[in-house]
Amino acid sequence: MPSPVRSAPIGVFDSGIGGLSVLQALRQELPHERFVYLADSGHAPYGEKGEPFVRARSLAIARHLCREYRIKALVVACNTATAAAVETLRSALPELPMVGVEPALKPAARLSRTHHVGVLATRGTAQSARFARLAAEHAGATQFHVQACDGLAHAIEQSTEEAAPAAASTEKIRALCARYTSALGRFGTQDGEIDTLVLGCTHYVFAEPLLQALVGPQVQIIATGAAVARQTRRLLEQLQAQGESGEPASGQIRLCTTGSLPALQAAARRWLDLPASRCASVCVQM
């Protein structure tokens, strides 16, 4: 690809701030790339909305990023949006290289010794046909225990409105995590116990310390950010569209939200160590 395309940003979007966990991994894997991140917080959480709505929002956001920022690739940093809309996006925007996010069932099945894997996901992901196909493909001798976590992504989203997590917010998130991990079954390394936990929503990464304390240190917790970042790097290399290695990424990240700007600014400071000046409000029409 010519140099102007190489210097174009990578678009990343999620229903809210959860995809910032993917952006963290992308920055580490691709330090010379520019990024524009869009949090559709004004319409979050996607996981508790219907697939037609998620498809329409995802397509509107992808077109907005293409039109306003001339992105060279798109990372759908949302499990629900990937499950509901990635095929629609690829059909509507066939020239745009794209990477989606899916629960890490394949590596979890490979790593589990008890062959019992827990999966925490939004209801939209857990009930999607795409997730059902993924689970069937990688089950084999492994049993996946799937729990839809209504309210958890929203609670994590709300907690970012505080400069530091308040005790009430932390307790609400911990209580939801306790409810949903308990519903999955027994965790441990003995026969019949769940020894591996998949985080099937990018928001849940920000609750990982709470989840680890609940399931125990012997349980492996798997997120997808690093794998998505590696796949994005491979895709850019195949297309010869990598950013110029001589250009530092410092100052090359823009964050946008359709919801609360102070919430995004707080999340940017807390999770990415970025100043409020990198954040802006946007309006994305359907």
Instruction: Map out the domains of the chain with their CATH numbers.
Output: 3-101+226-281 (3.40.50.1860), 105-223 (3.40.50.1860)
Q: Which residues pair with 222 in a beta bridge?
A: 198
Query: Cα separations (Å) of 261 from 13, 27, 125, 160, 212?
Result: 16, 22, 27, 11, 30
Q: Mind listing the pLDDT tens digit for each residue in 3-58?
A: 557 889 999 999 999 999 999 999 999 988 999 999 999 998 888 788 999 999 99
Catalytic residues: 78, 201
Q: Mind listing the pLDDT tens digit for each residue in 50-94?
A: 899 999 999 999 999 999 999 999 999 999 999 999 999 999 999
* Predicted TM-score of the model (pTM): 0.89
- What CA–CA distance (Å, rounded) separates 84 from 54? 7
